[in-house]
Amino acid sequence: MKIDHIGIAVKDIEVSSALFSTILNRKPFSFERVESQKLSAVFFKMEDTSFELLEPISSDSPISKFLEKKGEGIHHVALIVDDIKAEMERLKNEGFNPLTQEPYVGANNKLVCFFHPKDTNGVLIELCQHQ
């Protein structure tokens, strides 16, 4: 298990992409809309890890709700795993609460699952697996 990416909630993905392009001295490698989560995502590759900028495309998006409550900033930390279902089961058996009972397809066509931040010191944890 290692960090796959760090998700950052932003209000304006174009402005934030320019900002992170300057900070990281590189262009993003991926842009996509994730209709199921009502968001747009931009990824910047940093060797084995990425930064993911997340902008809501709807007022009822989870990212929109996050921005209303907490403002822009770190939204989640994603861990890459070999077997997402086995890791979900292991964490559930340890008492952690997933936000969904089954993984689903997220950005970059990865299977994903999130665990509630109330169980993880306030940090939303995402598990992701390459398909």
Note the pLDDT tens digit of each residue in 5-53: 999 999 999 999 999 999 999 999 999 999 988 999 999 999 999 999 9
43-102, pLDDT tens digit by residue? 999 999 999 999 999 999 999 999 999 999 999 999 999 999 999 999 999 999 999 999
Q: Where are the alpha helices (DSSP H) in the chain?
A: 13-24, 62-70, 84-93
Q: What is the CATH number of the domain that holds 113?
A: 3.10.180.10
The 30-34 sheet, strands edge to edge: 30-34, 39-46, 49-56, 2-9, 73-80, 124-129, 111-115, 104-105
Whole-number pLDDT of residue 9: 97
Its pTM stands at 0.91
Which pLDDT value is given to residue 1? 87
Cα-based angle 95, 9, 43 (whole degrees, multiple of 5):
100
Range of the domain at 84: 2-129
The number of domains in the chain is: 1
| Tokens matching residue 63 | 């990212």
